[in-house]
Chain A
Amino acid sequence: MTTNLAATEETFVIKGRKVVGGRSEGEALVTTDTISGWGGINERDGSIIERLHELHGQSFADKVLIFPGAKGSSGWSAFFHMTRLNGVAPKAMIFNRMTTKIALGAVVTRVPAMTECDTDPIETIRTGDWVVVDADAGIITVTRRSES
């Protein structure tokens, strides 16, 4: 964030529960669709491959991924695990619905992850917002450029 843009930015804070600790920041990628791991993503480039998914063709590599939750195959964690080994993991994960797939997936992806937010992150955060996830403190700081 550069100071000359400060007048055109708005910042707000969301509180939630730590799933995986740590602090990370990046550009938000928001979807209202749940995500499949195995059969839903390409673990070599971090892109969504599910045919009817609204992010079809887009990559979450180095983004803060904000999504309702995980669905589909039990290969979820293994595929997100491989995105870490391949260097195309998201920077952080924020999600609404806790399941074993997403808990294990977040743990082995080893990125800060949060859930149980005090406002719905899918509605309040927009793709392109700059998001700082401090999972240990339970705080998500969102900065929005007004032109976006």
Chain B
Amino acid sequence: MRLTDHEKAMLDGQHGAARARAMDLLVRYGEALGAERLVETNNVAGAFNASTPSIRHIAEQGFDKVFSELNLDSDETVEIPRMAVPTCQLITGIDNDNWEVQGVDAGLAELQKQSERYLGQRGVNLMATCTPYQVGNVPVKGEHCAWMESSAVIYCNSVLGARTNVEGKESTGAAALTGRIPYWGYHLPENRFGSHLIELDIEVDDMMDWGLLGYFIGYAVEENIPVLKGASHQPTLIKLKHFGAAAASSGGVEMYHIPGVTPEADTLEAAFGPRSAVETIRYGAKERRETYEKIQSATDRKVDFIMLGCPHNSIEQMELIAHLLEGRKIHPDVQLWVHTPRAIRQVADRSGYCDIISAAGGVVMSDTCPAISRRLPPGVRVIATDSAKQAHYLPAIAKVQGWFGSVTDCVEAAVAGEWRGGVQ
């Protein structure tokens, strides 16, 4: 790989041991990819926090050890300086206020708080959400980013027109300390054109339908770039957030185009650029129904746990849930957790939504989710969620049965203690 003089100086240790370890990893990673060079980035979103039991024994050796091992892949423990470029923490393992509800012990909750103080002292902005674009980190078109979190990456590339690959814990650590990331994949304009045409034969409008469409497309195109034709309704942030999260879960989709909606495709022709579609895939009533059946992993209709807010809810979703729950009580055998970024939670509190959800018996959580924390209420056997992503991952992670449906179906299940959802 070609390195600039500044990059060589970092690699040689002229900017300290931590930046040398970071450059060493970026060179190994770039050569594995076959990248020719690095690119400058000023926007890093990664996972740095110490919040899981598996990190505890590493954290006992200090937070420099945690960052060195898990964020730089360095056997040597190096002293970690201030991040070189703006950097934020994505979703983490523990809700700093609701850790007891999660079943976290006091020691681990305190470890996370200490870790956050350490990271904050080094310039890591503790957004603690999978949706940094909902709470102020909104890259502009063309901006080179180094982001983790597959649902955020697909949003960043497709909806915002900024440029990032799916980075990992180690590459975001190295990028934060150097302001560099391999110039490969979605950083190159020629790799951002569509490859597969998805023809929509049915209307796709509500959030559940965007989730189903995304889940279908992920299996159909795997890591390729789908282009949607025939979208009859203008999607919103909420719908594209769910669509992308689903496509990134069932496949490895990191970018898509919706001509007339997403910024790099004014037209169908612009979406494909010099390429032509290698395959045309139709999505109609049959595919929708099959996808709905495929995503369900439950047979038992008696539900224990309702999970809403994956990816983390927007303020409009918080309002809708409060509206659906107002004056009602959830079933005594059911627990309901609603997840939203801490910054949005403050607005939801002020608007009275959290009080309504609490009065109904639900818990508003921030900072984490059950799939990331691997923590559910004790004894849960059957869950229901409005998220295709959570329905995909949580049954595998927590060995539970999962129902997927609309937010209304989920709230009704919380009240009745029974799943009655379905599709027409």
Q: A99-B166, A103-B33, A108-B170 are in contact. Are A74 and B73 (CB under 8 A)?
A: no
Q: A49-B396, A107-B73 are in contact. Are A71 and B33 (CB under 8 A)?
A: no
User: Smallest CB-CB separation from B371: which chain A residue?
Assistant: A39
- Cβ of B171 under 8 Å from chain A: yes
The CA of A85 and the CA of B171, in the complex, are separated in Å by 18
- Cβ of B34 under 8 Å from chain A: yes
Query: Chain A interface: which of B148-156, B192-200, B235-243, B275-283?
Result: B148-156
Interface size class, chain A? 35 or more
Q: A71-B223, A74-B153, A77-B171 are in contact. Are A107 and B32 (CB under 8 A)?
A: yes
User: Smallest CB-CB separation from B169: which chain A residue?
Assistant: A78
- A19 neighbours in B (Cβ, 8 Å): 32
Q: How far is the CB of B183 from chain A (nearest CB, A)?
A: 12
Q: How far is the CB of A107 from chain B (nearest CB, A)?
A: 5
* B170 and A81 contacting across the interface, CB-CB below 8 Å: yes
- Cβ of B77 under 8 Å from chain A: no
The count of A-to-B residue pairs whose CB atoms sit within 8 angstroms is: 105
Within 8 A of A (CB), among B12-42: 25, 28-29, 32-34
- B170 neighbours in A (Cβ, 8 Å): 77-78, 81, 104, 107-108
* B168 and A71 contacting across the interface, CB-CB below 8 Å: no
- Cβ of A65 under 8 Å from chain B: no
- B249 neighbours in A (Cβ, 8 Å): 72-73
Binding site of A, secondary structure by majority: helix, strand, loop or mixed? mixed
Within 8 A of A (CB), among B166-219: 166-171, 182, 184-185
The CA of A21 and the CA of B382, in the complex, are separated in Å by 45
- B25 neighbours in A (Cβ, 8 Å): 107
* A77 and B252 contacting across the interface, CB-CB below 8 Å: no
Q: A74-B148, A75-B168 are in contact. Are A104 and B397 (CB under 8 A)?
A: no
- Cβ of B70 under 8 Å from chain A: yes
**Across the A-B interface, the 10 shortest Cβ-Cβ residue pairs:** A77-B168, A71-B252, A74-B148, A39-B393, A100-B165, A103-B32, A78-B169, A103-B33, A108-B73, A104-B168
Interface residues of A (CB under 8 A from B): 17, 19-20, 34, 39-40, 43, 49-51, 69-78, 81-82, 85, 97-101, 103-108, 113
A-B contact pairs, 11 of them (CB 8 A): A20-B28, A34-B222, A39-B392, A74-B150, A76-B168, A77-B169, A77-B170, A78-B169, A81-B170, A99-B223, A107-B170
